[in-house]
Amino acid sequence: MADAIHDIEIRDLYKIFGPNGADYVADVKAGMTKDELKARHDHVLGLDDINLTIPAGQIQVVMGLSGSGKSTLIRHINRLIDPTAGKVIFDGDDIVQMSQNELREFRRRKTAMVFQKFALFPHRTVLENTVYGLSVRGISAKEAEERGRRWISRVGLDGFEGSYPNQLSGGMQQRVGLARALTNDAEILLMDEAFSALDPLIRTDMQSVLLDLQQELRKTIVFITHDLDEALRLGDQIAILRDGKIIQKGTGEEIVLRPADDYISSFVRDVRRGNVISVRQVMRKGQHAETPVSLPNSTLLEEAARAMTDAGTNRANVLDENGQQQGVITLSKTVAEMIAPDESDDQEPEALSA
């Protein structure tokens, strides 16, 4: 793994597709919409004033519907697309200003990409696909094979090293893509709709594989998806795009609890809140209860409700990261928040303090 990890800072980023895109940045900054730009100048607004800090060692999900700009954004991080204006800063360097040689080295050593369509070489075996990036970098065949076999095993493909892509299922092919990215030991992992082509059960399985690996590796992952459930499961942070603009960014809890507008509200309306919101968001701070149940403040509401029900109690103490008393959650409050947001802040009718 890399010795140090760094945030990615995206600042004032614009992308206007067309031969004279730079001529219209000022118009967009002045308020020209995507539709107006297309109608008046026959140019397409891809990204509109993107400002985003992608935290090192975390999973940043970028989501939105088709045409929102999410895939355009991820391709600016390794400059597969050149911006019309703006900066992408990593480890003190602006990727936008890199020379072709610097960019080539950055792509080879700092980033790896996992695609929706797998992008495997059909004439290469699983092992040969996995070590391809190392071969390009001039790593010895022995070291490349050792590293490749290790990551093939880690993604659950032991015994398939000599198989070809057409002998594998879609889920297995995507595991090869993930192994190839991890074998390169890149600090930044870019995943563009990586699981979208998979069947639902295989997709859930791949999400679990990624989360398990991330617990150990702490890569900086940018994950593109159009699926809110996937975004909420994977994302430490989520940014939601519409027409090239970030409409809201924050944790999954923040977005579900406080949608920025009607557009976001329509996204989160059918979310299973109990699988997203933690007890820290709805507990009564500073209180204590006589109860056999104590829960970490990161416990999700559905887990909290189950724990209290199993224990035959209607309340639980909430503990902070150091195991210290932080507050109390009641079963009635938990169930109410799982169903719909509670507009009031009324106290429970029964006393909570011991």
What are the sequence ranges of the domains in the chain?
54-83+100-271, 276-339
Mean local confidence (pLDDT), 242-251: 95
Distance of CA 329 to the CA centre of its chain: 29
CB 46 within 8 A of CB 17: yes
What region does 10 belong to: left with phi over 0, alpha with psi -120 to 50, or beta?
Answer: beta
DSSP code at position 287: -
Q: Selecting from 3.30.1520.10, 2.60.260.40, 3.40.50.1220, 3.40.50.300, what CATH number does the domain 54-83+100-271 have?
A: 3.40.50.300
Strand partners, 230: none
Statement: residue 350 has pLDDT above 80:
no
pLDDT at 12 over 90: yes
Phi first, then psi: give them for residue 54, nearest 5 degrees: -100, 110
Dihedral of CA 301/307/309/313: which sign? negative
pLDDT at 3: 53
CA nearest to 65, candidates 269, 227, 245, 221 = 227
What's the CATH class of domain 276-339?
alpha beta
User: What pLDDT, on a 0 to 100 scale, did the predictor assign at position 349?
Assistant: 41
State the pLDDT at residue 345.
Answer: 44
pLDDT category of residue 123 using cuts at 50, 70 and 90: very high
**Residues 122, 166 contacting (CB under 8 angstroms):** yes
The pTM for the full model equals 0.86
Pairing of strands 325-330, 284-285: antiparallel
Look at residues 156, 158, 176 and name the one whose alpha carbon lies nearest to residue 166. Answer: 176
Whether the predicted pLDDT of 249 surpasses 90: yes
Is the pLDDT at 348 greater than 90? The verdict is no
Helix 141-154 and helix 170-183, axial crossing angle in degrees, nearest 10? 130
CA proximity to 295, closest of 274, 273, 326: 326
Domains 54-83+100-271 and 276-339 share a fold: no
Structure tokens at 161: 């090293």
